[in-house]
Structure 1
Amino acid sequence: MIKEIKFRQVGKFEDTKFEKIHNEIFQDSSYASKLAALEISDLIKQKQKEGKPCILGLATGSSPIKVYEELVTLYRLGELSFNNVITFNLDEYYPMDTDNQQSYYHFMHQHLFDHVDINPENINIPSGNINLEEIDQYCIDYEMKIKKLGGLDFQLLGIGRTGHIGFNEPGSHRNSGTRIITLDHITRRDAASDFNGLENVPKRAITMGISTIIKAKRILLLAWGHKKASVVKKTIEGEITPQIPASFLQDHKNITVILDSEAAADLTRIKTPWLVDQCIWTPKLKLKAVTWLSEEVQKPLLKLTDKDYNDHGMSSLLTLEGSAYELNIKMFNHLQNTITGWPGGKPNADDTKRPERANPAQKRVLIFSPHPDDDVISMGGTFSRLIDQGHDVHVAYQTSGNIAVTDQEALKFGEVAQRLAEGNSIFKNIIDVIKSKNTGDIDSPEVRLTKGLIRTMESYGATRYLGLPDHKVHFLNLPFYETGRAKKNPIDTPDINIVKDIITHIKPHQIYAAGDLADPHGTHKLCLDAILETISIIKHEKFMNDCWLWLYRGAWHEWDIHDIEMAVPLSPDEVNRKTNAILFHQSQKDKVMFQGEDSREFWLRAEERNKDTAERYDNLGLADYEAIEAFKRHYF
């Protein structure tokens, strides 16, 4: 069935007055990646029938990985050959040796070239070890080789948060060719997790120019995740400007931008569809529209007028509801009912309009935490409240979190241990390994164990502080994580079995899990995938009929107001208690390995995020709380 679906190849996209590039939105990036791979496969086969080479421009980064996986699958199934394919990659870090695991040369061979029958002589990747004085001529030669082959038949692109395509950073001109370029700080910061720290990310790169890219006969641009939403909107709806290099793609006559739902979230037709066309006013869309309007005009919900609705494209909603007064009351009551001081349900109370059930009064609760501090960072106040209200609370740390511990931190603990255990060669060996490491080296199993133990003991400190007994703290150490580098393995059967065992052992009435997919190195998403896959396997078990799954978000992002289904208010004392629990994770306090775009320490960003959520509720006209932790229910 999937092979029957094609992307429409059209000219400039004019379905709405806002969008200037044709785009397709998919709920699932995996499915969209398969479609992209099938288009590439069809092009390769068509060129084979014509007896011609197929000239592909290829991208690196996380976005195209699943495309390459699908192409490899098609090859292994005997449905595709690469014997007529000639490839040109967009870019490479400079300086960068081909044997460096962070090189794009290594990336392409790891994900595609080593697994298919492409002729090695047909692989072209910019070299990161050309002498500086030879780079200009090298870049000219790279351009000329593409031109002699008749240009690119197809170009696969990703997009950076700066709007870069290839490594064409802000300021790049439409007529730019292949050249060396200085990387934007945001680009380097986004790559920091791959290089074990910002200081190790190269400051320059060689990139194919915008002029070469937009001469390709066909372009597919992939964008996944909410971190790309802002730049996607600027690319598709904004003006053409060198400050958003991807915006030059608006002039291309045969391009499709492929998005998942989160990357498309800021597009006008998704974020505010009532400004584009007539809407089907579902309850969810009504809530989204009314809370948006309240924040847009800076009025509490109950003060919105008919004129406010009419002036902002919502006259059809008023016609449906009768008046602003009736609609405002309905939305206000809905939001009021999301607020509860009883996250496990309030015993002996009417739960008709409460987010959680009253019964059973004492629930079995399983909190999944991707890393050993996400529990307290994301829901430390709710965690504490559940314990205090007498529920049978368990926490399961899905990964060891060892990669987020710096060598300096591990060295400190190793030296303390050595002093306490004089004559024990284990600690000396660990210390020697750490001191002899080169930048980018993978940690030895002994060093990973040491770093994992640091995070284990910090977790015990935090959970003991909150009053949770040690026997209710579980360290799953899922195998997918144990690669020693930021890039993880796919979730596999051993991971699923471990998650299945803990759920079936506890038989929880409530599961809390991280729904924050903005994690800079993807562990949150993989951990959630493991939980959802497990639930799909065991959902027919009798105890699962009484199990609800609540998703929290982590240190990088919060649910939108219209998505929140349970809001747990925190007092000033509870905010302090949550902060103190976070501070037990000392290895993460002063130097965060995977900071993302937020330079604040985790305790501060968590505190300010929770206070901001409370302020948004207050601005909507609801009660004024010190802070709020927010949750969204996932239905299965």
Structure 2
Amino acid sequence: MSRLNLLEETRFEKIPVSIFPNENQASIAAAQKIANLIRKNNNGKKPTVLGLATGSTPIKVYKELIRLHKEENLSFENVVTFNLDEYYPMKSDATQSYVTFMNENLFNHINIEKQNINIPDGTLEEKDIAAFCLAYEKKISAYGGLDLQLLGIGRTGHIGFNEPGSAPNSGTRLVTLDDLTRRDASRDFGGKENVPTKAITMGVGTIFKAKEIILLAFNKKKASIVKKALEGEISPNVPATYLQLSDNVEFILDVDAASDLTRFDTPWLVRDCDWNIETIKKAVIWLAKKINKPILKLTEDDYNSNGMAQLATEKGPVYNLNIDIFNILQHTITGWPGGKPNANDKQRPERREPSLKRSIIFSPHPDDDVISMGGTFIRLADQGHELHVAYQTSGNTAVWDDDALRFLEFSIDFNRMQNLDVSVLEKTYQNIHAFLKTKQPNQTDMAELLSIKGLVRKGEAIAGARFAGVPDKRIHFMDLPFYDRFKYSNFSGLEDDILQTMDLLREIKPHQVFTAGDFEDPHGTHKVCFNIVLQALQRLKETDDWAKDCWLWLYRGAWHEFEIHEIEMAVPLSPAEVKRKRLAIFKHQSQKDAPVFPGDDAREFWVRAEERTAETANVYNQLGLAEYAAIEAFKRYHF
């Protein structure tokens, strides 16, 4: 691409951007920049002064720096570091402290001098913080300022802990954390209520003094705030936009974090496109939503006035374009998610044969099936398909402690009524009760407590699947090993999970598989579970004939929904079916009212499910299609 074309394509972006295929490559590139700076200064016998960030984003950068130290002799003896922030109050040896984080992820593995490490002190008396912050600033200045500042970006747009409202000339200080920031940190602390409300942070002004600034952002969850930071107006509501004022900033992104930028999301606004049916579909739907018109009422003037003249000229007339896209959307709608028997299936999302299919729904947690596709679940069962459901993990971390105790108390009382020995149960109860008295936030539960929580969720899942119409013999509890490994040790691969999934698939030999494609899940379980199913099917397609004709459908809904242009199968629900779905979700009593891990959506799961599917139906209707109470959306994975 010529420099002129690149400038045109990136004209909405106000800061230089480097985009990499994935987080690993982006992290290696960032680490290499830091390493080059350290080597240059080491050769000149000068110290390198680094501003460092914490959180999940820079972990792979630090991992690469450790590798460079151990394998390529990168020396940190002359490196001085200043960390951006620390929770307040926070003991330095706490699991959640940034002192612990930096030691575990970098400092313990390199040859940095301990006296050269500087991290805000979360143990201070509040009256002493102002003096500490002033001294922190003076110490940075004494080294001649930061040579390079590494940043992440929070979903509020914060850099460091400079939340919305921060001034561009702010210095190191005590701040109050935004509620969204605390919700994002809640899993590390065992609940938002345990996340500190304050933090000590370098200010925006302090960050700006760095000779070079690198901001890292990875995955789809950061895409919307990255777009605001790079393309939006400078605003205290998004502190990262202040970086537009600096000449020394670079954003390093993976493709997912960059996906909302204009050049990727709506490329027709910045360059001539190579139009294919997918791009045309996205563009026409975008136009209809932008100007709030049904697709069939869009005019040539609408196209020309909204940056789509090239499409109108090359692929028009627009009347034909409108009809083509309308028909494509119309053909996604089906009341037969298993295929309609004896019907022409050329324009239907699923095959008609075999008329009764073997289908399996993989559910990462014990409730994702009914939350995300409960209406389709019920319809597949009602239409006579051999429907299986496989719960991939126990979900045993997502039950309140007092609920687990209540079930154990019930078991003790029931056994007493039957004149059975309850000594073992009573001993277990005493052990759990003693454990809970000293349990710390985010501490892993003892094995007996986890077992009880797992049984609670298992019982709820059975009740939900039975209500949807699945017989007990087709309900499978996989308890995949990775889920427990995440609790106790570092990630060590998925091979045993993949093999177990292959065994189940070989046993059922399904014609269609449904699995979670909602990677906005804040805990990452959905993405891991999807990768396991995908790997299992890819291997089976190479060896097993039945697998070659097995289709994979992705569902969403627990956290986010598909965009309209992504949907390949839309299953409409009547008001009665919406109610049946709600009752299936209600079987998961431990997740009702106040689930342990609600994410950043305050609505109950059943409310989210109903409102999201109603919104999908509403968008279809606004585009000029039939009006339904709700629509569950699916996207086919094309191998």
TM range (shorter): over 0.9
The one-letter code sitting in structure 2 at the alignment partner of 1:591 is A
1:108-160 superposed Cα distances (whole Å, 9 cap, x missing partner): 22222233333333322211101212111211222222222222222221111
Following superposition of structure 1 onto structure 2, how do residues 371-520 of structure 1 map, counting pairs within 5 Å?
371-421=365-415, 422-423=422-423, 424=425, 425-482=427-484, 489=491, 491-520=493-522
Q: What is the Cα deviation at residue 513 of structure 1?
A: 1.4
Identity, in percent, stands at: 56
Does the 8 Å CA contact 2:518/2:527 hold for their aligned counterparts? Answer: yes
- The 3 A distance-change label for structure 1 pair 605 and 196 is same
- Cα separation, 2, equivalents of 1:199 and 1:29: 31
- The 3 A distance-change label for structure 1 pair 39 and 429 is same
The one-letter code sitting in structure 2 at the alignment partner of 1:411 is L
- The 3 A distance-change label for structure 1 pair 79 and 537 is farther
- The equivalent residue for 1:548 is 551
1:617 aligns with one of 591, 615, 620: 620
- The 3 A distance-change label for structure 1 pair 60 and 504 is farther
- The equivalent residue for 2:212 is 218
- The equivalent residue for 1:607 is 610
Q: What is the Cα deviation at residue 303 of structure 1?
A: 0.8
The one-letter code sitting in structure 2 at the alignment partner of 1:341 is G
The yes-or-no answer on 1:104 pairing with 2:98 is: yes
Matched residue SS, 1:88? strand
- Cα separation, 2, equivalents of 1:112 and 1:417: 48
- Cα separation, 1, equivalents of 2:540 and 2:253: 31
- The equivalent residue for 1:534 is 536
Matched residue SS, 1:309? helix
Q: What is the Cα deviation at residue 547 of structure 1?
A: 1.8
Q: What is the Cα deviation at residue 75 of structure 1?
A: 3.8
Matched residue SS, 2:251? strand
Q: What is the Cα deviation at residue 539 of structure 1?
A: 3.7
- Quick check: 286-295 or 209-218, which moved more? 209-218
- Quick check: 353-362 or 317-326, which moved more? 353-362
Matched residue SS, 2:542? coil
- Quick check: 113-122 or 396-405, which moved more? 113-122
- Cα separation, 2, equivalents of 1:358 and 1:564: 19
- The equivalent residue for 1:582 is 585
Does the 8 Å CA contact 1:225/1:517 hold for their aligned counterparts? Answer: no
- The equivalent residue for 2:294 is 300
- The equivalent residue for 1:150 is 144
- Quick check: 77-86 or 357-366, which moved more? 77-86
- The equivalent residue for 2:3 is none
1:159-205 superposed Cα distances (whole Å, 9 cap, x missing partner): 11111000001111111111111111121122122212121110000
1:528-581 superposed Cα distances (whole Å, 9 cap, x missing partner): 233334344444123331122211113221110000011111111211111111
- Cα separation, 2, equivalents of 1:554 and 1:373: 11
The one-letter code sitting in structure 1 at the alignment partner of 2:328 is H
- Quick check: 43-52 or 133-142, which moved more? 43-52
Following superposition of structure 1 onto structure 2, how do residues 17-28 of structure 1 map, counting pairs within 5 Å?
17-28=11-22
- Quick check: 38-47 or 562-571, which moved more? 38-47
The one-letter code sitting in structure 2 at the alignment partner of 1:524 is H
- The equivalent residue for 2:349 is 355
Q: What is the Cα deviation at residue 359 of structure 1?
A: 2.1
- Quick check: 620-629 or 82-91, which moved more? 82-91
- The equivalent residue for 2:189 is 195
- The 3 A distance-change label for structure 1 pair 488 and 619 is farther
- Cα separation, 2, equivalents of 1:74 and 1:406: 44
- Quick check: 110-119 or 334-343, which moved more? 110-119
- The 3 A distance-change label for structure 1 pair 432 and 470 is farther
Q: What is the Cα deviation at residue 340 of structure 1?
A: 1.2
The yes-or-no answer on 1:568 pairing with 2:562 is: no
2:228 aligns with one of 228, 231, 234: 234
- Cα separation, 1, equivalents of 2:56 and 2:452: 29
The one-letter code sitting in structure 1 at the alignment partner of 2:508 is I
- The equivalent residue for 1:40 is 34
Does the 8 Å CA contact 2:485/2:491 hold for their aligned counterparts? Answer: yes
1:267-303 superposed Cα distances (whole Å, 9 cap, x missing partner): 2222222222222212111111101111111111111
- Cα separation, 1, equivalents of 2:540 and 2:50: 43
TM-score, normalised via structure 1 length: 0.93
- Cα separation, 2, equivalents of 1:616 and 1:331: 14
- The equivalent residue for 1:591 is 594
Structure 1 segments unaligned to the other structure (5+ residues): 1-11
- The equivalent residue for 1:9 is none
The one-letter code sitting in structure 1 at the alignment partner of 2:305 is D
Q: What is the Cα deviation at residue 77 of structure 1?
A: 3.5
Does the 8 Å CA contact 1:369/1:397 hold for their aligned counterparts? Answer: yes
1:46-95 superposed Cα distances (whole Å, 9 cap, x missing partner): 33333333222211112222222333344444454433332221111000
1:214-244 superposed Cα distances (whole Å, 9 cap, x missing partner): 2222222122233323322221112222221
- Cα separation, 1, equivalents of 2:76 and 2:510: 50
- Cα separation, 2, equivalents of 1:489 and 1:330: 47
Q: What is the Cα deviation at residue 487 of structure 1?
A: 10
Does the 8 Å CA contact 1:166/1:208 hold for their aligned counterparts? Answer: yes
- Quick check: 222-231 or 138-147, which moved more? 222-231
- Cα separation, 1, equivalents of 2:111 and 2:414: 56
TM-score, normalised via structure 2 length: 0.93
Q: What is the Cα deviation at residue 479 of structure 1?
A: 2.7
Does the 8 Å CA contact 2:557/2:612 hold for their aligned counterparts? Answer: no
The one-letter code sitting in structure 2 at the alignment partner of 1:621 is G
- Number of positions where the alignment pairs a residue of Structure 1 with one of Structure 2: 625
Does the 8 Å CA contact 1:403/1:484 hold for their aligned counterparts? Answer: no
Matched residue SS, 2:189? coil
- Quick check: 350-359 or 486-495, which moved more? 486-495
The one-letter code sitting in structure 2 at the alignment partner of 1:44 is I
- Cα separation, 2, equivalents of 1:46 and 1:551: 49
The yes-or-no answer on 1:329 pairing with 2:323 is: yes
Q: What is the Cα deviation at residue 17 of structure 1?
A: 3.4
Q: What is the Cα deviation at residue 248 of structure 1?
A: 1.1
- Cα separation, 2, equivalents of 1:275 and 1:392: 47
The one-letter code sitting in structure 2 at the alignment partner of 1:464 is R
- The equivalent residue for 1:6 is none
- The 3 A distance-change label for structure 1 pair 202 and 360 is same
The one-letter code sitting in structure 2 at the alignment partner of 1:468 is V
Q: What is the Cα deviation at residue 488 of structure 1?
A: 7.7
Does the 8 Å CA contact 1:387/1:393 hold for their aligned counterparts? Answer: yes
The one-letter code sitting in structure 2 at the alignment partner of 1:471 is K
Q: What is the Cα deviation at residue 322 of structure 1?
A: 2.5
Structure 2 segments unaligned to the other structure (5+ residues): 1-5, 416-421
The one-letter code sitting in structure 2 at the alignment partner of 1:553 is R
The one-letter code sitting in structure 2 at the alignment partner of 1:153 is D
The yes-or-no answer on 1:627 pairing with 2:617 is: no
1:598-620 superposed Cα distances (whole Å, 9 cap, x missing partner): 11100011011111101111111
- Cα separation, 2, equivalents of 1:439 and 1:528: 29
- Quick check: 538-547 or 85-94, which moved more? 538-547
- Cα separation, 2, equivalents of 1:364 and 1:500: 16
Q: What is the Cα deviation at residue 27 of structure 1?
A: 4.1
1:438-465 superposed Cα distances (whole Å, 9 cap, x missing partner): 3333211111111111111110110111
